[in-house]
Amino acid sequence: MGAPITIIGSGHAGITLAREVRRLSPDVAIRVLTRDDGHYYYKPDLSKAFAAGKDADGLIKNTAEQLIETMKIELKPRTTVTRIEPAAHRVWVGDEVLDYSKLILATGAAPIRLPLTGTAADEVMAVNDREDYARFRAAIPPGARVLIIGAGLIGCEFANDLAAQGHVVHVADLAGWPLPRLLPEAQGQALQTALSGLGVQWHLRTSIASLDRADTVITVRFADGSTQTVDVVLSAVGLKAATQLAAEAGLTTRHGIVVDDHLQTSAADVYALGDCVEINGRLLPYILPIAHSARALAATLTGTPTKAKFPAMPVIVKTPACPTLVNPPPMVEGAWEVSGLAPDLEAVFKDASGKPVGFALTGAATSKRAQYLPLMPPVYEPAN
Ligand SMILES: Cc1cc2nc3c(=O)[nH]c(=O)nc-3n(C[C@H](O)[C@H](O)[C@H](O)COP(=O)(O)OP(=O)(O)OC[C@H]3O[C@@H](n4cnc5c(N)ncnc54)[C@H](O)[C@@H]3O)c2cc1C
């Protein structure tokens, strides 16, 4: 048998692709190499796991053994790929060399680390996978005081999840309202008010000057001069696409690994999908783009070259205190138009020509998704 289709990464992107390939071809050899334990979990569950009463093992949907058995794949956990060699069609795992027929990079993204100062700067946690979640969960006893740095999607979701479970939550952000990149101010304030109702305390329009440990507590000093004592600090300031393997092999990377309409990188027979990818100048670090990518790429890998198409893909923000749905606008000139009474607000983002290119709904207005979705342009539709 020839060299297998080889996928690096067993996150949602890697495993969804493996499933799609297997659906189209019962026989093709598929190998998945992954740095982690290979158990499949649904990453969005991480930021609602406290309310669901789930520990890290409770989040597993399929063990690595189940994936191997049901999908008839080779899956190698705890296997970090250290180098890829596209010209030779092989990858390196330390000293071991493995051949591939086609290679797919599904290496995800890693939390951005802020350059913080103080004796507790190294203790800042981030939750981007199940193992991070296990460490974080172990670090916060009932009623713990938690500072979340970053009021974006992940920061707000954790704030809701932790506060609803009785933790004392502080959220800090340079911006003036939560979800500043996804919501206009009025909706951000509606979300802020709802989370404040759960006891969340806000430190907005300021940054962290220092984090210092004294005995069992951490003193947070903000740039505006205020201070706060907490037990744990969680950073949720965003993710950076994992481009290193690709860049070191000479593949084109910018904010992510650059791929064409077929999700092929700048190297022959090397493809990429998921959080590590940049397509048409955009990162698409969400679940729905992975579904569209995996379907198209599986067809390409099994002999039917297929371009990936991305329709409008709204994201549900998991903040039950204030239900929120957003169809993120692209980075273009434009302005939000907001209507309704807080917290039930409808917002449409119009570009400079007045065309609606994004929308956001909060509170009871989230029921109007079907009304707005048809107005939205696709995120990316390649020419035929
Ligand atoms: C807390 C949280 C909540 C979220 N909620 C939502 C949501 O509600 N809706 C939504 O649409 N999106 C959400 N997202 C985003 C979504 O989960 C991601 O877009 C998606 O899971 C990314 O999957 P991925 O497979 O590309 O990356 P990852 O899950 O990061 O997987 C990367 C894989 O690559 C492996 N790997 C990396 N480097 C190597 C190497 N050198 N060798 C071997 N293996 C390697 C890793 O071990 C891992 O298996 C959320 C994200 C987080 C963190």
Q: What is the pLDDT of residues 16-26, one digit of tens each?
A: 999 999 999 99
Q: How many CA atoms lie within 13 A of 55 on its CB side?
A: 6
Angle CA 67–137–65, to nearest 5? 10
Give DSSP secondary structure letters for 306-362: ----B----EEE--TTS-EEEEPPPS-SEEEEEEEETTEEEEEEEETTS-EEEEEEE
How far does residue 98's CA lie from ligand 1's centre (Å)? 24
Nearest CA to ligand 1 atom 22: 275
- Ligand 1 in reach of 7 Cβ (< 6 A): no
Instruction: Give the distance from CA 336 to its chain's centroid.
Output: 25
Q: In what order do the strands lie in the sheet with 270-272?
A: 74-76, 30-33, 5-8, 103-105, 270-272
For the full predicted model, state whether its pTM sits above 0.95: yes
- Ligand 1 in reach of 71 Cβ (< 6 A): no
User: By percentage, how much of the chain surpasses pLDDT 70?
Assistant: 100
Neighbour count for residue 268 (Cβ, 10 Å): 10
CA 302 – CA 101 distance, rounded (Å) = 11
CATH class of the domain whose range is 113-235: alpha beta
Architecture of domain 5-110+239-301: 3-Layer(bba) Sandwich (3.50)
The 10s digit of each residue's pLDDT in 121-158 is 999 999 999 999 999 999 999 999 999 999 999 999 99
The 10s digit of each residue's pLDDT in 27-38 is 999 999 999 999
- Ligand 1 in reach of 14 Cβ (< 6 A): yes
pLDDT value of position 384? 80
pLDDT value of position 22? 98
- Ligand 1 in reach of 13 Cβ (< 6 A): yes
In a 3-state reduction of DSSP, which class is residue 239? strand
Note the CATH number of domain 323-375: 3.30.390.120
pLDDT value of position 153? 97
> What's the length of the chain?
384
Can you read off the two tokens belonging to residue 280? 């048409």
Q: b or e along 55-64 (b: 16 or more beta carbons within 10 Å of the residue's beta carbon)?
A: ebeebbebeb
Q: In the chain, where does the domain assigned CATH 3.50.50.60 lie?
A: 5-110+239-301, 113-235
How far does residue 335's CA lie from ligand 1's centre (Å)? 31
**Whether the predicted pLDDT of 381 surpasses 80:** yes
User: Which of 54, 107, 158, 284 for mutating ligand 1's site (highest number of atoms within 8 Å of CB)?
Assistant: 107
The 10s digit of each residue's pLDDT in 148-204 is 999 999 999 999 999 999 999 999 999 999 999 999 999 999 999 999 999 999 999
- Ligand 1 in reach of 327 Cβ (< 6 A): no
Neighbour count for residue 328 (Cβ, 10 Å): 22
The 10s digit of each residue's pLDDT in 249-304 is 999 999 999 999 999 999 999 999 999 999 999 999 999 999 999 999 999 999 99
In a 3-state reduction of DSSP, which class is residue 192? helix
User: By percentage, how much of the chain surpasses pLDDT 90?
Assistant: 98
How far does residue 219's CA lie from ligand 1's centre (Å)? 31
- Ligand 1 in reach of 148 Cβ (< 6 A): no
CA 39 – CA 304 distance, rounded (Å) = 30
Average pLDDT of the residues of the chain: 97
Q: In the chain, where does the domain assigned CATH 3.30.390.120 lie?
A: 323-375
**Whether the predicted pLDDT of 120 surpasses 90:** yes
How far does residue 144's CA lie from ligand 1's centre (Å)? 27
pLDDT value of position 34? 98
Q: Which residues contact 46 (CB under 8 A, 6 or more apart)?
A: 59, 127, 128, 129, 130, 132, 133
Q: b or e along 76-87 (b: 16 or more beta carbons within 10 Å of the residue's beta carbon)?
A: bbebebeebebe
How far does residue 93's CA lie from ligand 1's centre (Å)? 21
pLDDT value of position 205? 97
How far does residue 134's CA lie from ligand 1's centre (Å)? 16
pLDDT value of position 331? 86
- Ligand 1 in reach of 84 Cβ (< 6 A): no
Nearest CA to ligand 1 atom 12: 286
- Ligand 1 in reach of 6 Cβ (< 6 A): no
